[in-house]
Structure 1
């Protein structure tokens, strides 16, 4: 059935971003495409095959359900790593299907060994170390237990990787903390190797660390937000430009979000628009009713300040964003008609609505805006 809005994913933009990222990491570092959060709102089922067609063969997800969706969506086999949640009963499925996963506590490691024995093949695990994020990972207190389990189950546990995650590499405020994390990670890896635990890969870098701390590239980088054409923060982009002066942004946003005008409405001077009394018409106005609201991921915090593009012109949200619709002011846009295209995010003629503009007008991070786009908005791959 037809939906009230739709999303387009640009093949050429993704190809461009992948080439740019590969130029930063070099040919000997594996590019793991992070597609948690429904591929940052882009859609696992649409984005993953597109990424694979652009040469990506390694993917990182958060949970087992995302791994299953990815496995079913890919036209060809690829390496899949679960970085977060996998329930104990799902471990056998993961081992049987060669899906790798992080282990960050002793019972997960012990359950992985038991699952591998039951399936009859080794579990490919990534040992996550606690270095200062204080979220998940083996710390000094329980790492000896992990070593004991690994030693006792060496036939059933393959150490595919040792990893950690940085606590805010996108901000200079966390610079010293991240440096301390790097130091602790190196020390722990050295200790583990000395005891015979040698991983196939070492990996710590997210998008921000990849740009800011080249020494974190190691064997693999876990690239999320940058492959979609967005910077982890303005600070990271500014730092990159200081080091590599370029006339334009080297990343290209791959997502566009569009709808159409559902109806046109004449409103007279002095009348209130929508719920409550937050907007009173300062003059006679023409409103376009757009069938997208906060139920579709367009934040209510953009009431009276969000903008869309219609006929290449900016149209401002008038009144409160409703659950399923919003009203935009098209008074000064000539020849507006029902069914005209409405760009919520992306380009139209010479104008553009950026993800950053959503962050500037609301409290949403770019990550948050994208991942809140509902699953049932249709997503299409375009050139």
Structure 2
């Protein structure tokens, strides 16, 4: 485990977000916490422990390894839903542990049925259907075969959910595409009902869709980025504010990323700093070296652009971001000492480095930036 930086997760910020989201969606809608991508960089073990303490009982992941990570720390009555990748050899563990999972091809459905028969235990499946995302999901032409298998093997296949995913609900430019998807999903649901197959729940909404298209909330919402205190896009944020006639952001950032000053150097004017010649000192400078680089998820695109907080002041990253180090300009700070706290994301005194601004400097999406943060950096839950 690295000691060059620390990630703090605010329990109070998360509780505030959860309270807001539950109020927004209502008590009847199941809240599923999406923790794929190492809980969006927050760390699955620590994050789900915190989320469980805040009353969250449903978690959605991408693959089996993430499901196992949750199982290792939470053994109480929770629901885990695998939305993406799994292999045949995983199915026995999945079914034995009553893990729920998306099915979007007939081979997976048949294999699940075979393993369920072997274990004499039901496979809990969510049938994902293609509505226009064109990624994963059963095509309309396959629905008859799916319905037949679900009917004939109902002793071993529990039709828990019917689901789909929307193609860019965070952008108003996709409005008509999403509207068509919603119509198709309703048609497919009616097809199953007409064939005497009723899913226990229907779900389709991610964070963006749950705000932009409230009718997509259905029985369950799969919420990722918003629970972490961030909006899927500025459009989603503005849409919410306008609809509620609010001015303040109801979400609070959960994550803070901190490091320390590793060393301080004085540089004479006209000298280059770091690798190559990307930055030349135009004055006598004082430079702090921070033990963070692209190996830890601090993007190389932040070279000569990034900002960090030292003593509450925004300091510019100068020179190229190295594998394990960055240099920042602390010339205008009177005294900077080795071991002093540096904030990469978060607040310090009156200064703030938001994830949005961090992303702007590096031209990364919030999602991309967060999920690239190294797993080996220790995570700590704070109040």
Q: What TM-score results when the alignment is normalised by the length of structure 2? A: 0.99
C-alpha displacement at 1:358, in angstroms? 2.0
Number of residue-to-residue matches in the alignment: 383
Paired residue for 2:140?
140
Counterpart check, 1:55 vs 2:92: no
Paired residue for 1:345?
345
Paired residue for 1:76?
76
Paired residue for 1:322?
322
Contact 1:44 1:73 in 2 (8 A): no
RMSD of aligned residue pairs (Cα, Å) = 0.8
Contact 1:160 1:201 in 2 (8 A): yes
Aligned partners of 2:320 and 2:89: how far apart in 1?
46
Paired residue for 2:106?
106
C-alpha displacement at 1:14, in angstroms? 0.2
Aligned partners of 1:369 and 1:330: how far apart in 2?
25
Q: How does 1:1-40 map to 2 (within 5 A)?
A: 3-40=3-40
Helix, strand or coil at the partner of 2:250: coil
Aligned partners of 1:73 and 1:178: how far apart in 2?
37
Contact 2:2 2:376 in 1 (8 A): no
Paired residue for 1:360?
360
Aligned partners of 2:337 and 2:65: how far apart in 1?
43
Aligned partners of 2:179 and 2:121: how far apart in 1?
38
Aligned partners of 2:110 and 2:146: how far apart in 1?
9
Aligned partners of 1:241 and 1:332: how far apart in 2?
38
Paired residue for 2:197?
197
C-alpha displacement at 1:75, in angstroms? 4.9
C-alpha displacement at 1:197, in angstroms? 1.0
C-alpha displacement at 1:2, in angstroms? 5.2
Aligned partners of 1:269 and 1:302: how far apart in 2?
23
Aligned partners of 2:134 and 2:260: how far apart in 1?
46
Aligned partners of 1:186 and 1:29: how far apart in 2?
18
Helix, strand or coil at the partner of 1:241: helix
C-alpha displacement at 1:363, in angstroms? 2.1
Moved more, 335-344 or 67-76: 67-76
Helix, strand or coil at the partner of 1:24: helix
Q: C-alpha offsets along residues 26-66 of structure 1, whole Å, 9 cap, x if unaligned?
A: 01000000000000000000000100100100010000110
Q: How does 1:226-305 map to 2 (within 5 A)?
A: 226-305=226-305
Aligned partners of 2:163 and 2:53: how far apart in 1?
27
Contact 2:345 2:358 in 1 (8 A): no
Paired residue for 2:129?
129
Aligned partners of 1:372 and 1:79: how far apart in 2?
26
Contact 1:82 1:102 in 2 (8 A): yes
Aligned partners of 2:96 and 2:160: how far apart in 1?
16
Contact 2:300 2:322 in 1 (8 A): yes
Paired residue for 1:336?
336
Q: C-alpha offsets along residues 170-222 of structure 1, whole Å, 9 cap, x if unaligned?
A: 00011000000000000000110110110110000000011111111110000
Q: C-alpha offsets along residues 270-323 of structure 1, whole Å, 9 cap, x if unaligned?
A: 100001111110100000000000111000000001000000111100100000
Aligned partners of 1:99 and 1:222: how far apart in 2?
16
Counterpart check, 1:88 vs 2:94: no
Aligned partners of 1:133 and 1:176: how far apart in 2?
13
Q: Which runs of 5+ in 1 are unaligned?
A: none
Q: C-alpha offsets along residues 317-365 of structure 1, whole Å, 9 cap, x if unaligned?
A: 0100000000000000122111110000000011100111122112210
Paired residue for 1:209?
209
Helix, strand or coil at the partner of 1:346: strand
Contact 1:161 1:201 in 2 (8 A): yes
Moved more, 70-79 or 134-143: 70-79
Q: How does 1:133-212 map to 2 (within 5 A)?
A: 133-212=133-212
Structure 1: 4+ residue segments shifted above 4 A:
none
Aligned partners of 1:327 and 1:75: how far apart in 2?
44
Contact 1:31 1:58 in 2 (8 A): yes
